[in-house]
Each structure stands twice: as structure tokens, then as C-alpha cells.
């Protein structure tokens, strides 16, 4: 099942791992048989996957069920489907199986297997905005809401990703948010749009979010997988955001727009903004994948796979994995809305910020 892996960009690149997430094979090279490939995949997840405590799957039962399908006559196509179907039972946006040449992949996430067409940046620009421009190597698109749509001055910022820049400047592009805030600071409110933003690097989203927060915030706690047991974890590691010093902070009214393709880093960003009394999240619930330290594994047949090694919870102990960050105001678009030049989410945001 070939899917668009750009939908979910991991918060950390697969090469940036803690040692407990790395797969180390000792002894002779395992024989490349269907059974061995299956067993190595299953065992790696059994000992290293961090989300069994919240996924409510019986991994041993899945081993029995899917393992029984493998025989000496199982061909590569059958093995691909057996493994892929087993991983879909985890329904995890950070779990992916790749073939040897990474020309095909099997996504575990149900959302990634759907076709979602509920957002169009061109629609937003053409129908709602004036003075549209870009910044941050093109990852920011910003402007102002047409004055005939609101009596208030409303700014708009679209963030397409939190990834490292293709131009080679890493996450430095994110600091262009300071220039954008200066240009929009006379606005009464700002819309920040994260729809279809699949995530990226935490340092990038921190650089941006730190220009909007008014105090130090602990927004998540994460526990690192430390042993082979399903409940072997480190002590909680707090994830914190602080206002950056010596920059202009925008702490007036904010509408944060999300949809089901706002994933990973976008969800960390959304959780930060849940702590801001002047911010309202509008749109659909986010993707629901938070286990950002990602482990890698390689099978004897050359296939590779990714899996998360951290369990993420709010400071209150709630885990949003597989659920997402739920909006304050649920507003949905459909493909039919977009085709009809309607964006219900933008319209609601403008209405809320105009009051």
C-alpha cells in the first residue's frame, strides 16, 4: 500500500536516536526467510515500541494470528501484506514499513490511508487575504484578512511545516516569525494556520511558538523506552516552552486552525497553545501521533521500519496518542466545500476574532 509519507514528518530524523531505540544485532547475520523477517519485526516492536500501554492491542495474539499465515511458500508480496496489516493494528502515524529501495511503504495510520482534501491555501489567499507574501524559505505564508470581512485588523500566518530547511540553514528559517510579528503587530488578532502541516523538528516549533507565549509552560511529559518490557520507561521528561527574550511577543487574540493532517510537531504546537487563554483552536482534531523519538530497524531482506520510542502525556497524565488535540470549536470542511470555494474554518475564525 503506497502512501504519501510527506503527510507525517517525524519530529526527529530517524538517525537522531537514543541508544535504547537502536536495533543492534549480535552474532551471525539472520537468514533471509519469511519467518525470520516476520519474527525480527515482531520482536523489535515487542521490546522497543513505546505505545503498547495506550494502544490496547494484544501483541502476542497478533503474533499468533499473523505468524500463522507465514509458511515456507510465503512470497515477498504476501509477506509485505501480512506485516503491513499487523502494523496497521497499531494505528500509529510514526510507524512505517519500507521496502528495500524505499519505493513503496506501508503506513500504520488509518488517517494516512484516507484521502483528505479539506484545505486549500490558494482558496485562503484568494478569498480572504490581502498583502500576501512569504518568509522563512517559503514555509511561512502571511498577510492580512480583507478589511471588508471584518471590522477588526486580523493577521494571517500559514506554517506549512516545522521541518529543517531545504536551503541548508536548518531551523533558522523559523526566526522569520519575528519579522512577521513586527509587520502584523498592529493587528487586533492573528490566525495561525497549521492545516496539512505534518510536523518536523521540535526546535523549529519552539522557535516559532516562543514568540507567542506569555510565560514558561510545561506542556507535555515524555518517558523514554528503557527496556524490553512493555512498561519499561524512564522517569518523565518535561517538555517546556519559554518566551524568547529580546523579541516582540504577540499575546493578543489568536485563532489556531487545525485539521486531521496537522500531525506530530503541529500537535505539540497545538498543545502549547492550549495553555494560552487568548488562543482558540478551531477546525478538526489533529492527527494523534506524539511519540517523537523514532527508532529504526532493518530486516534480513533489506526492508526497513520506523517506530516511536517515547510515551507522551500531558502534565495531568492524559495521553492523546491515537486521539489528537481536540479543537475548542469543531468546524469541518469537506472536499465539496473547497470545490465550492468555501472554507468554513476560516470563516469561523474570522467571525470569532471579529467579536
What's the pLDDT tens digit per position in 199-232?
999 999 999 999 999 999 999 999 999 999 999 9
pTM of the model: 0.90
pLDDT of residue 28: 74
- pLDDT for position 15: 32
Decide: 160 and 141 in contact? Cβ < 8 Å. Answer: yes
List of residues 6+ apart from 151 with CB closer than 8 A: 354
Instruction: Yes or no: say if 84 and 97 are a contact pair by the CB < 8 Å rule.
Output: yes
- Per-residue pLDDT of the chain in tens (355 residues, 90 and over written 9): 333 333 333 333 333 333 335 444 445 788 999 999 999 999 999 999 999 999 999 999 999 999 999 998 999 999 999 999 999 999 999 999 999 999 999 999 888 777 789 999 999 999 999 999 999 999 999 999 999 999 999 999 999 999 988 777 789 999 999 999 999 999 999 999 999 999 999 999 999 999 999 999 999 999 999 999 999 999 999 999 999 998 999 999 999 999 999 999 999 999 999 999 999 999 999 999 997 778 999 999 999 999 999 999 999 999 999 999 999 999 999 999 999 999 999 999 999 999 9
Please, which residues have CB within 8 angstroms of residue 250's CB and are 6 or more apart in sequence? 181, 184, 185, 190, 211, 212
Which among 245, 135, 205, 195 has a CA at the least distance from the CA of 345? 195
What would the CATH number be for the domain defined by 1-355? 3.90.226.10
DSSP annotation of 277? T
pLDDT of residue 224: 95
Q: Which of 161, 124, 159, 162 is nearest to 144 (CA)?
A: 124
Q: Domain ranges in the chain?
A: 1-355
**Using N-to-C axis directions, what is the helix angle for 34-48 and 76-88, rounded to 10°?**
20
pLDDT digits 0-9 by tens, 126-166: 999 999 999 999 999 999 999 999 999 999 999 999 998 87
Dist CA 256 CA 28 (whole Å): 53
Amino acid at each position: 500500500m503506497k502512501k504519501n509519507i510527506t503527510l507525517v514528518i517525524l519530529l526527529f530524523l530517524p538517525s537522531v536516536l537514543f541508544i535504547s531505540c537502536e536495533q543492534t544485532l549480535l552474532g551471525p547475520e539472520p537468514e533471509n526467510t519469511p519467518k525470520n523477517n516476520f519474527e525480527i519485526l515482531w520482536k523489535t516492536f515487542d521490546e522497543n515500541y513505546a505505545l503498547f500501554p495506550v494502544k490496547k492491542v494484544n501483541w502476542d495474539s497478533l503474533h499468533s494470528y499473523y505468524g500463522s499465515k507465514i509458511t515456507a511458500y510465503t512470497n515477498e508480496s504476501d509477506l509485505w501484506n501480512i506485516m503491513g496489516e499487523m502494523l496497521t493494528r497499531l494505528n500509529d502515524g510514526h510507524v512505517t514499513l519500507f521496502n528495500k529501495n524505499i519505493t513503496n511503504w506501508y503506513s500504520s495510520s488509518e488517517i494516512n490511508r484516507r484521502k483528505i482534501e479539506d484545505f486549500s491555501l490558494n482558496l485562503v489567499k484568494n478569498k480572504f487575504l490581502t498583502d500576501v507574501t512569504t518568509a522563512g524559505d517559503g514555509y511561512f505564508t502571511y498577510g492580512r484578512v480583507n478589511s471588508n470581512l471584518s471590522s477588526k485588523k486580523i493577521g494571517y500566518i500559514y506554517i506549512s511545516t516545522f521541518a529543517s530547511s531545504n536551503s541548508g540553514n536548518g531551523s533558522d528559517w523559523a526566526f522569520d516569525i519575528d519579522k512577521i510579528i513586527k509587520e502584523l503587530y498592529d493587528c487586533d488578532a492573528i490566525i495561525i494556520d497549521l492545516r496539512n502541516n505534518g510536523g518536523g523538528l521540535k526546535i523549529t516549533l519552539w522557535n516559532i511558538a516562543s514568540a507567542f507565549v506569555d510565560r514558561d509552560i510545561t506542556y507535555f511529559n515524555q518517558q523514554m523506552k528503557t527496556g524490553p518490557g512493555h512498561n519499561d520507561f524512564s522517569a518523565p521528561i518535561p517538555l517546556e516552552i519559554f518566551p524568547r527574550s529580546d523579541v516582540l511577543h504577540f499575546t493578543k487574540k489568536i485563532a489556531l486552525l487545525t485539521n486531521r493532517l496537522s500531525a506530530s510537531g503541529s500537535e505539540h504546537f497545538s498543545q502549547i497553545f492550549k495553555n494560552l487563554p487568548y488562543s482558540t483552536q478551531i477546525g478538526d482534531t489533529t492527527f494523534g501521533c506524539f511519540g517523537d523519538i523514532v527508532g529504526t530497524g532493518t530486516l534480513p531482506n533489506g526492508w526497513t521500519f520506523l517506530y516511536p520510542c517515547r510515551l507522551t502525556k500531558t502534565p495531568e497524565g492524559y495521553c492523546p496518542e491515537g486521539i489528537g488535540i481536540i479543537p475548542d470549536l469543531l468546524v469541518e470542511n469537506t472536499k465539496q466545500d473547497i470545490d465550492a470555494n468555501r472554507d468554513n474554518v476560516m470563516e469561523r475564525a474570522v467571525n470569532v476574532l471579529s467579536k
